[in-house]
Structure 1
Amino acid sequence: MMSSASRIVAQTPKQFNKFINLNTRYLATQAAVNVKKHEAKENKESASFTMNIFRGQAQMDQVIPFPKALSQDQSETLQMTISPLEKVFSEINDPVKNDEISDLDEKTRQAFWDLGAFSIQVPEQYGGLGFCNTQYCRLVEIVGSNDLGVGIILGAHQSIGFKGILLYGTPEQKQKYLTRVSNGEYAAFALTEPSFGSDASAVKCRAVKSSDGSHYVLNGSKLWISNGGWANIFTVFAKVPMKNTKTGEIEEKVTAFIVDRAFDGVTSGPPEHKMGIKCSNTAAIYFEDVKVPAENLLGAEGEGFKIAMNILNNGRFGMAAALSGTMQRCIKQAVEHANQRVQFGKKIREFGGIQEKIARMAMLQYVTQSLAYMISGNMDLGSQEYQLEAAISKVFASDSAWWVCDESIQILGGMGYMKDAGLERVMRDLRIFRIFEGTNDILRLFVALTGIQYAGSHLKELQKAFKNPTANLGLIFGEAAKRATKAVGLGPTPSFANLVHPSLAESANMTGKSIETFGQTVEGCLIKYGRGIVDEQFILNRLAQSAIDTYTSAVVLSRASKAMNEKTPTAEHEMVMAKTWCTEAASRTKYNLKVVKSDKYLNTFNQLRQISRNICEAGKCPQQTPLGF
């Protein structure tokens, strides 16, 4: 029977599935002997929850329990810092004035510098506060609830501006530059260029090493750089000609540098006029024959793209934290109005339509806040795999904050549209968050394609195993058993109900079912499209949304379980929000995964594609009015 099975084994996933269907019961029996050996040899496992759901697996190590990252000392230090920060916002910073003058006056700037707000995560030895990610998260949440323009100034400086030095700098670079960025000098992250937006690999800025190796000559320009007109210290990404050690050919690879404005040839353009976040400085930066000392190379030559992505990944949770604060401010204003406004003899809080708005706003804020503290906590506890979760937090937070602000304005009605209410400024400030540091559209594709690549790597292992089935029976039968038992309804749905509070077990089971269906759908897409899946954005976007809904469900279940177990004053409230969120998220996921597999819906997308082509070819909406002219 073994040799017969070996002859049937094919070298494509599609044929493999046929093989499994023919040998279901036999493979399920044989797998018990081999599956443990295969698992012991598996070396491509990830601790990321999101990565694993693309394989239909529930990896809960970084989700449950909800991370507790602060020691008692850290918690006490943080609490002592919160009051002075809130005092600066209440007594010194004026968001309306900042917006009107498109700047931050010197008194306000100095107040934030004196507080240490520009060096929250810089080690104390370099003049910073030395706070961890979770402490940073809490302070940024307060900033976001008060003034997003200030939030961008602070974030562009430390979340990305000098973050590369913090992560990759040599001891000498840290001593030289971190002391400066902690003591009145602004930093900026210079990646975007006029010729590209989301395609960071298309950098045109170029740096050529001198013949004696002492410096690089940098030429090019950067666009829309936050703090660009103020900064003295830049993290700059440019292509460097390098010899390929394998082929001997010269190739240009993106490389990171620390560039000082004091270097000859560094200039900046005038401040950009923006829709929102007006008090933050945004400007173009120009480099003309700038001599950058070799010791200012950040990391190694050719590592620039990796460094840029890691900087962005490392700081994205801060955006979720800030927008969690913004949503709290919007909700508070909407609720104050709903509690006072009387229509038709009732306070508007009594109307079902208003109640639904407020409840959904609250759930979105709860999820966003949970994401921020989940990711920052995991980072503080040593996690190195959070890039998908960080991307999800940015996408979810920026989409949700926009919706919450919009609904707050709707609840206030005409009053909300007035400038004096302040919400129109918040809405203008919010619009950029769905665009910068990776547009939400690109990040959704990033989540989907990264997860699919991880799922596909396992199929590649199987394909290789099929080439020599006799030597790889453990791998083949182990995977066959997993699929075979699912095919006959014996395989367990990924479950973590035992890890959550009993009152949330049903919600955990729903999420587990989503994980199972999600993994099966991803595998089906890989089999159907192969590498061509990268071009199926209609499908990728729905897979990404399913991943977002599934991860956020697991996160709120973890947080609500923590509240229930600790019997906090808001535990019951959190439990209700978690249950409601999981129910609706599971429903959305079921629908999106159905769409991905349905010829009917895929045909609808083909129709949408045709409509788009018609409009683009015409350069406008091509139809005439019903009048015929």
Structure 2
Amino acid sequence: MSERKLLKSGEFLVNEIDANDIFIPEEFNEEQRMIAQTCRDFMDAEVFPKLDDIDKGDRELMKSILQKSGELGMLGIAVPEQYNGFGQDFVTQMLVAETTGAGYSFSVAYMCHCGIGTMPILYYGNEEQRQKYVARLATGELIGAYCLTEPGAGSDANSGKTTAKLSEDGKYYILNGQKMWITNAGFADTQVVFAKVENDRVLSAFIVESSWPGVVIGPDEHKMGIKGSSTAQIYYNDVKVPVENMLGRRGEGFRIALSILHMGRMKLGANVIGAAKETITQSVQYANERKQFNTKIANFGAIKHKLAEMVIRTYAHESAIYRVSKDIDDLIEKYKSEGCEYGRAAIDAISHYAVEDAILKVNGSEMLDFVVDEGVQIHGGMGYSAEMNVERGYRDSRINRIFEGTNEINRLLVIDTAIKRSLKGEYDLMGPAEQLYNNLDGIVAENGSNDYYEQKMQTIRNFKKIAMLGIYGASKAFGKAFAAEQEVQNNISNIIMDLYVAESLALRVKKLENMGKQNIDIYKDIVDVFVYDAAGRIRKNAMDAVNSFAAEPELSKLGNAVDRLCKVAPVNVKEARRRIADKLIEDNQYKF
């Protein structure tokens, strides 16, 4: 078997891969499916029957459920076997994140523990720290938390005021400060805490035990959603942290924080898939039961439109998530083959895909917000009642656009990181972009093929040209001031996100057909509608950007080029959506 082609982060803007080179969810092996089923069975037994009790904010109940999941091995999926874990690959970790994503507040507590509560110590800790903490976090003997945010330091994490001063005898760092919005705060045993040593400009990281003198846990916050997740402030009053509990090197904390955020973004992107599929299933089942005007509401075109669009956005996002998850696995193996030990190989591979991390965090959180909103609408008045899980899902979803770096920050990261990676020489973005820009009149849209998939890929290539025109044109017009033009950056980031998801979706469906998938036309309907709608969104974002930086006669030339590049074949979106909805209605659950 030939080796898979591996694109660098952001390189999809200027290059493409064959459908055979991407991983799709239909390729999960038996072991991966069994692990996912174990997680689902656990939630059916231990989480779903207790949702109301969990939402009352019982700290001990949540901790006991997490500990039970640890007894099954669920807390050690990503942890190597020598530290009591299962040592599963990144694709499997993402599948578990997806499966547990249907678990409302439990999902938040679980993902915090397994991800940001455990992984910093696994990835950056020394052997003694891993044996002492990771081996017990993997079984649930210890529960973890991550303490970065402060009252005055949210998106600007490095502006935190928490300090760590070396004691006179050199044995301890004396920790003083305050952290807020800390998930699992009320019952965590260990905390990864970020602070500045002496007068350092950047953060360092420390492993702190909650039971140590001077660690004070505040009461749980009253929140809009995720009410069962313990979220509290933590105060540090002259806490003596042994010097051997510094995580990584002095001053490495900011790098650790950013790397762990990349991982958190990616796993959140998987987590929301489980929540979306659960909401879609709840919605179609309600639509198949609820009658108005002597017929099930599932028979109404307006409801079918909603159900189909929920499926389209979920399926498209899922396609992109597992595409990059396999890329990360391959890069981990490449780094390991070059002599990098597992922890650093894993976090460096995840961090490498920073462009995709940001795309999938934003796209996933906004996809889920759309799905839960429509879920409530399909339920009508009952959707507004706390009796229904869609009400809980609606409230719980909102935090995802704030978690792991706000969507505003992540949109800026998409374009900023893509440009910086290209300027470092990882791939040539500005060269092809400049050539395009200098030949606006000669830009011809590629859409002449009769082959279905080639036609879609040609359309997506046109979308890539639009992104390149926007990047080069804005960079040329604004120069260094481009960094302050956040509205234009957002426009271009939206284009990049749409084209990456569209490409991932088209490649997935092409691979499915190559694998002999039955009823492939339904999946082509999903591609047709998504690409058709993406063209409209991309045109709007492109023209908003162009109108912000170009003047005549260049403005007209750019506008004409955008119009040509956004031209797509006509699609009867009404009938396509009805076919998608009809399959969902017949299955009475999400089975795409």
Measured after TM superposition, the shift of residue 116 of structure 1 is 1.7
- Determine if the alignment matches structure 1 residue 234 to structure 2 residue 188: no
Work out which of the residue numbers 149, 155, 170 in structure 1 matches 2:126.
Answer: 170
Deviations 1:462-501 (A, max 9, x none): 9xxxxxxxxxxxxxxx959972896286788799x99xx9
- Determine if the alignment matches structure 1 residue 438 to structure 2 residue 392: no
Q: Identity percentage over the alignment?
A: 33
Alignment of 1:570-581 (within 5 A): 571-581=520-530
Q: Aligned pairs, how many?
A: 523
Measured after TM superposition, the shift of residue 252 of structure 1 is 2.6
Give the corresponding residue for 1:16: none
- Determine if the alignment matches structure 1 residue 140 to structure 2 residue 97: yes
Work out which of the residue numbers 411, 423, 433 in structure 1 matches 2:390.
Answer: 423
TM-score under structure 1 normalisation? 0.77
Measured after TM superposition, the shift of residue 370 of structure 1 is 1.9
TM-score under structure 2 normalisation? 0.81
Check 1:505–1:228 CA distance in 2 against 1; reply closer, same or farther (3 A cut).
same
Distance in 2, Cα, partners of 1:156 & 1:590: 38
Cα RMSD for the two superposed structures: 3.1
Distance in 2, Cα, partners of 1:152 & 1:415: 25
Alignment of 1:387-536 (within 5 A): 387-454=354-421, 479=431, 483=435, 487=439, 502-536=451-485
Check 1:415–1:149 CA distance in 2 against 1; reply closer, same or farther (3 A cut).
same
Work out which of the residue numbers 81, 88, 108 in structure 1 matches 2:35.
Answer: 81
Alignment of 1:133-212 (within 5 A): 133-145=90-102, 147-183=103-139, 184-210=141-167
Distance in 1, Cα, partners of 2:494 & 2:316: 15
Measured after TM superposition, the shift of residue 328 of structure 1 is 0.9
Deviations 1:205-257 (A, max 9, x none): 1112345644322211111100112112111111124xxxxxxxx64321112
Check 1:510–1:71 CA distance in 2 against 1; reply closer, same or farther (3 A cut).
closer
Give the corresponding residue for 1:11: none
Give unpaired runs (5+ residues) of structure 2.
Answer: 1-5, 333-348, 552-592
Alignment of 1:535-546 (within 5 A): 535-546=484-495
Measured after TM superposition, the shift of residue 293 of structure 1 is 2.3
Distance in 1, Cα, partners of 2:270 & 2:192: 24
Work out which of the residue numbers 12, 23, 46 in structure 2 matches 1:92.
Answer: 46
**Secondary structure of 1:423's aligned partner:** helix
Tell which structure's C-alpha radius of gyration is larger: 1
Give the corresponding residue for 1:308: 257
Check 1:69–1:402 CA distance in 2 against 1; reply closer, same or farther (3 A cut).
closer
2:373 maps to amino acid:
D
Work out which of the residue numbers 510, 516, 535 in structure 2 matches 1:567.
Answer: 516
Give the corresponding residue for 1:50: 10
Instruction: Give yes or no for contact 1:482–1:491 (8 Å, CA) kept in 2.
Output: no
Measured after TM superposition, the shift of residue 265 of structure 1 is 2.1
Deviations 1:568-627 (A, max 9, x none): 23533222212221221122112211111115999xxxxxxxxxxxxxxxxxxxxxxxxx
Distance in 1, Cα, partners of 2:262 & 2:464: 24
Query: Which structure has the higher relative contact order (CA within 8 Å, separation 6+)?
Result: 1
Measured after TM superposition, the shift of residue 344 of structure 1 is 3.4
Give unpaired runs (5+ residues) of structure 1.
Answer: 1-45, 242-249, 463-477, 603-629
Measured after TM superposition, the shift of residue 202 of structure 1 is 0.6
Work out which of the residue numbers 312, 325, 328 in structure 1 matches 2:274.
Answer: 325
**Secondary structure of 1:267's aligned partner:** strand
**Secondary structure of 1:224's aligned partner:** strand
Measured after TM superposition, the shift of residue 166 of structure 1 is 1.5
Instruction: Give yes or no for contact 1:103–1:278 (8 Å, CA) kept in 2.
Output: no
Deviations 1:112-164 (A, max 9, x none): 2211222221112211222222112222222222x220111111111111111
Distance in 2, Cα, partners of 1:494 & 1:192: 47
**Secondary structure of 1:278's aligned partner:** coil
Distance in 2, Cα, partners of 1:364 & 1:277: 23
Give the corresponding residue for 1:14: none
Deviations 1:26-48 (A, max 9, x none): xxxxxxxxxxxxxxxxxxxx943
Instruction: Give yes or no for contact 2:216–2:235 (8 Å, CA) kept in 1.
Output: yes
Give the corresponding residue for 1:469: none
**Secondary structure of 1:67's aligned partner:** coil
Distance in 1, Cα, partners of 2:216 & 2:206: 16
